[in-house]
């Protein structure tokens, strides 16, 4: 019999920062992970977990999100002259 995963948090809280303002989300673990991966892949957002940049969210797990204190997605920075 498969046992259910025990999480510390009921929901994963994260912010998406954009020029239009911040959007705050509180989602179940699986939905949060799916949305975060989609925001990085489809919208080019940059992911920071506890102030550390994560360029490849495909390696993240629901456990990683559960133990994180601060999750923020931002627009990619553009450089140039």
Name the CA radius of gyration of the chain, rounded.
14
- At 41-71, the pLDDT tens digits run 999 999 999 999 999 999 999 999 999 999 9
| Measured CA distances, 4 to 7, 31, 64 (Å) | 9, 16, 17
> How many other C-beta atoms are found inside a 10 Å radius of the C-beta of residue 71?
21
Is 4 within a domain?
A: no
Give the domain range for residue 39.
12-74
CATH number of the domain within which 68 lies:
3.10.20
End-to-end Cα distance, the chain? 60
Residue 24 reports pLDDT greater than 60: yes
Q: Answer yes or no: is pLDDT of 33 > 80.
A: yes
For residue 16, being part of any structural domain is answered with: yes
Say if 43 falls within a structural domain: yes
**What is the percent of the chain with per-residue pLDDT over 90, rounded to a whole number?**
77
Q: How many domains are there within the chain? A: 1
- Beta bridge partners, 48, equal 53, 72
HSE-up (13 A, CA, CB side) for residue 43: 14
């Amino acid at each position: 019999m498969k046992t259910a995963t025990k999480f510390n948090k009921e929901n994963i809280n994260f912010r998406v920062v954009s020029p239009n303002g911040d959007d705050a989300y509180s989602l179940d673990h699986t939905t949060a992970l799916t949305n975060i991966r989609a925001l990085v892949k489809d919208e080019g957002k940059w992911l920071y977990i506890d102030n550390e940049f994560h360029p490849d969210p495909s390696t993240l797990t629901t456990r990683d999100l559960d133990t994180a204190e601060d999750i923020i997605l931002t627009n990619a920075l553009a450089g140039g002259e």
